[in-house]
């Protein structure tokens, strides 16, 4: 196998693994919300947001849609950008500076969101890869 073929294979594998990780994280988040809608709504309410049960449902459905986009590669760039904005919102809303005093782990959770955002932005730029990706004529690069 030539060097180019070898590099190409590892790149395909790396992209597919990254897509599975993104999909898995959003799928797990959605599953947890669906499994305890009232608990999640309580957490959302404790952060001061109105209509917490509605927001719980919207978040769970949004995370499910993101997981499907990452699994299939459909609307991949758009999903990656929306996911990055969503994760940024979550960082500030649930782990932001107001929660750091007296709880240093919240700062760690806050910072972790930015590594996730970096990966999502990188994915948005580079796309879903050439394998196992749904594409439409309007969004083919």
pTM for the complete prediction? 0.87
- Determine the Cα–Cα distance for residues 32 and 74; give it in Å rounded to an integer: 24
* 1-20 tens-digit pLDDT: 455 666 688 989 999 999 99
Q: Are 75 and 52 in contact (CB under 8 A)?
A: no
- Determine the Cα–Cα distance for residues 24 and 9; give it in Å rounded to an integer: 22
Q: Is residue 131 domain-resident?
A: no
Structural domain including 91 reads 3-126
Q: How many CB atoms lie within 10 A of CB 59?
A: 18
- Determine the Cα–Cα distance for residues 30 and 70; give it in Å rounded to an integer: 14
Q: Is residue 70 domain-resident?
A: yes
Q: Is residue 9 domain-resident?
A: yes
Structure-token pair, residue 56: 């719980």
Q: Is residue 135 domain-resident?
A: no
pLDDT at 127 over 60: yes
Domain total for the chain?
A: 1
Q: Is residue 112 domain-resident?
A: yes
Q: Is residue 138 domain-resident?
A: no
């Amino acid at each position: 196998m030539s060097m180019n073929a070898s590099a190409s294979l590892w790149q395909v594998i790396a992209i597919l693994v990254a897509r599975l990780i993104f999909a898995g994280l959003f799928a797990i988040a959605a599953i947890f919300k669906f499994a305890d809608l009232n608990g999640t709504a309580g957490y959302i309410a404790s952060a001061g947001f109105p209509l917490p049960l509605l927001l719980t449902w919207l978040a769970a459905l949004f995370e499910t849609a993101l997981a499907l986009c990452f699994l299939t590669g459909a609307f991949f760039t758009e999903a990656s950008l929306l996911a990055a904005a969503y994760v940024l919102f979550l960082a500030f809303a649930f782990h932001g500076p107001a929660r750091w005093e007296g709880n240093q782990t919240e700062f760690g959770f806050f910072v972790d969101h930015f590594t996730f955002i970096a990966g999502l932005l990188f994915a948005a730029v580079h796309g879903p890869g050439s394998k196992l990706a749904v594409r439409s004529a309007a969004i083919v690069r």
